[in-house]
């Protein structure tokens, strides 16, 4: 067994000691109590515009909307998603559902020791994760302990890194153009058939001209 930093023995109920092992580029372990369900890779995923790094989109599971997240990318490892073999670890937190895509599943095993988790609370890269011993000596092995519950909390809206959702409608219908009142538009007045009156320019017309007398008449 490799040298270990200070830690504590894990005691108590067997359920509290159980861990799910799986691969996220490397073999890791998560407390079994943090995983609500294990799903196949969803066939229909809706991409999410403006999502944070590693958020692949949304899918529906049992009438709940689930955020699909590539765990490899969140822990600083290259993604290796294969819908045929990848699995989704479903985690529930404060009414939100997060589905973490992992490369493959391992087994449910007993964890007997884990490192102290003092230090920065925000989850980081895989090589910064505390270690957990899976199995008793001399056959036990040390694996990174991935706290999916803490990661789900960091992705929730209260954690400030939640995936950007599309803006919701305010429930109001768009403003329609005013409808016609059914009346025909007012027509221009028709002409009475009379010529228009010429304007009075202030000039008297004078007497009418006298008829001319033909030359040599008389």
Q: What is the pLDDT of residue 49?
A: 84
Q: What is the pLDDT of residue 4?
A: 52
Domain boundaries, the chain: 7-159
Cβ-based neighbours of 211, under 8 Å, separated by 6 or more: none
Q: What is the pLDDT of residue 53?
A: 80
| Integer-rounded Cα radius of gyration of the chain | 42
* DSSP for residue 145: B
CATH of domain 7-159: 2.40.50.180
Cα–Cα dist 25/37, whole Å:
21
Give the other-Cβ count within 10 Å of 73's Cβ: 18
Q: Give me 141's structure tokens.
A: 């092995």
pLDDT digits (tens, 9 = 90+) for 69-106: 999 999 999 988 899 999 999 999 888 999 999 999 99
Q: Give me 183's structure tokens.
A: 């009346």
Tell me the C-alpha to C-alpha distance, in Å, between residue 23 and each of 101, 110, 140, 197.
10, 17, 17, 101
Q: What is the pLDDT of residue 211?
A: 53
Q: Which residues of the chain have pLDDT under 70?
A: 1-15, 118-122, 157-218
Task: Show the beta-strand stretches assigned E in 5-63.
Answer: 7-9, 18-23, 27-31, 37-40, 55-61
Backbone angles phi, psi at 14, to 5 degrees: -55, -35
Cα–Cα dist 98/154, whole Å:
11
């Amino acid at each position: 067994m490799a040298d270990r930093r200070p830690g504590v023995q894990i005691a108590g109920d067997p359920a509290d000691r159980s861990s799910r092992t799986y691969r996220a580029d490397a073999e890791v372990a998560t407390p079994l109590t943090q995983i609500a369900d294990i799903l196949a890779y969803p066939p229909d995923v809706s991409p999410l515009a403006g999502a944070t790094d590693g958020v692949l989109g949304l899918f529906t599971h049992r009438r709940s909307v689930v955020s699909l997240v590539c765990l490899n990318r969140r822990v600083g490892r290259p993604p290796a998603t294969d819908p045929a073999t990848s699995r989704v670890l479903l985690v529930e937190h404060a009414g939100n559902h997060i589905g973490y895509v992992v490369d493959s599943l391992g087994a449910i095993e007993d964890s007997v020791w884990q490192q102290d988790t003092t230090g920065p609370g925000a989850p980081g890269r895989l090589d910064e994760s505390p270690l957990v011993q899976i199995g008793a000596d001399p056959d036990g092995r040390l694996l990174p302990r991935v706290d999916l519950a803490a990661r789900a909390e960091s992705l929730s809206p209260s954690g400030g890194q939640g995936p950007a959702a599309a803006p919701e409608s305010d429930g109001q219908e768009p403003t329609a153009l005013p409808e016609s009142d059914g009346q025909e538009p007012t027509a221009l007045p028709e002409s009475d058939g009379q010529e228009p009156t010429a304007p009075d320019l202030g000039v008297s017309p004078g007497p009418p001209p006298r008829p001319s007398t033909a030359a040599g008449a008389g």
